[in-house]
């Protein structure tokens, strides 16, 4: 191959390379123009409205649930405030009632019908009136004697051996207990039997869950 032939071959090869580069650039430019000219797909207005509606509906349901929870909490708080607003006062009045009962218990039976009969009757009426007033405000005495011992309502002070009475039965009340609404205002102080049969005595019928106040 002569030098001239080699030169012509090299020139042809360079020309082909230039043509290939130009073609590649043209293809890239055309692809870019096609990409730029392609219109964006607009979302369906109905789908947009449907999505917005679902979001609004979800927000409204959440808000309604929160409002209902708030209403229930408020109603419960108001109810508790009414039920337990006299707790401290009622506890103080129980001390007065205890003193009245002690005064009556201290009077011998043979003296009650004598000169102090009117005095005894007056104290008894005062005690009944006080207990009645407390009951009107939700304060009630805890049933204890003869009931199965319940630590939610009773406080054991001592044990009484008795083989005939079922064990763990309240056989004596030292101090009456009271509940206010569903809470224990004061547990009953009691004596409990031991040594008897295992058969259970009747369960306490006191209201509430025995929450201490």
Most confident of 14-18, 109-113, 209-213: 109-113
Per CATH, which fold does 139-213 belong to? Nucleotide Exchange Factor Grpe; Chain A, domain 2 (2.30.22)
Q: Is-above-0.85 flag for pTM?
A: no
Residue 119: pLDDT band (50, 70, 90) is confident
Mean pLDDT along residues 126-141? 89
190 pLDDT higher than 90? yes
Q: pLDDT tens-digit profile of 52-91? A: 888 899 899 999 999 999 999 988 888 777 777 778 888 8
Q: pLDDT tens-digit profile of 71-81? A: 999 888 887 77
Q: Given this model, what pLDDT does residue 34 score?
A: 53
Q: Given this model, what pLDDT does residue 153 score?
A: 94
Q: Given this model, what pLDDT does residue 162 score?
A: 85
Mean pLDDT along residues 17-35? 55
> Average model confidence (pLDDT) for the chain?
78
Say which residue, 6 or 42, is predicted with more confidence: 42
How would DSSP label each residue in the chain?
Answer: --HHHHHHHHHHHHHHHHHHHHHHHHHHHHHHHHHHHSPPPPPPHHHHHHHHHHHHHHHHHHHHHHHHHHHHHHHHHHHHHHHHTTHHHHHHHHHHHHHHHHHHHTS-GGGTTTTTHHHHHHHHHHHHHHHHHHHHTTEEEPP-TTSBP-TTTEEEEEEEE-SSSPTTBEEEEEE--EEETTEEEEPEEEEEEESS-SPPPPPP--SS--EE-
Per domain, the residue ranges of the chain are 61-137, 139-213
């Amino acid at each position: 191959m002569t030098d001239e032939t080699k030169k012509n071959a090299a020139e042809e090869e360079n020309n082909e390379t230039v043509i290939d580069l130009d073609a590649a650039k043209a293809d890239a430019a055309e692809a870019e123009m096609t990409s730029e000219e392609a219109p964006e797909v607009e979302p369906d207005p109905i789908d947009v409205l449907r999505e917005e509606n679902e979001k609004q509906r979800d927000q409204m349901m959440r808000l309604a649930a929160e409002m209902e929870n708030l209403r229930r909490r408020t109603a419960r708080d108001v109810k508790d405030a009414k039920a337990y607003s006299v707790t401290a006062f009622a506890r103080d009045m129980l001390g007065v009632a205890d003193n009245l009962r002690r005064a009556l218990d201290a009077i011998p039976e043979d003296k009650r019908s004598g000169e102090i009969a009117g005095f005894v009757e007056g104290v008894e009426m005062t005690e009944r009136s006080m207990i009645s007033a407390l009951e009107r405000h939700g304060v009630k005495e805890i049933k204890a004697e003869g009931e199965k011992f319940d630590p939610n309502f009773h406080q054991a002070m001592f044990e009484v051996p008795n083989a005939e009475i079922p064990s763990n039965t309240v056989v004596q009340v030292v101090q009456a207990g009271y509940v206010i609404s569903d809470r224990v205002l004061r547990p009953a102080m009691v004596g409990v039997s031991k040594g008897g049969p295992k058969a259970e005595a009747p369960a306490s019928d006191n209201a509430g869950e025995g929450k201490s106040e």
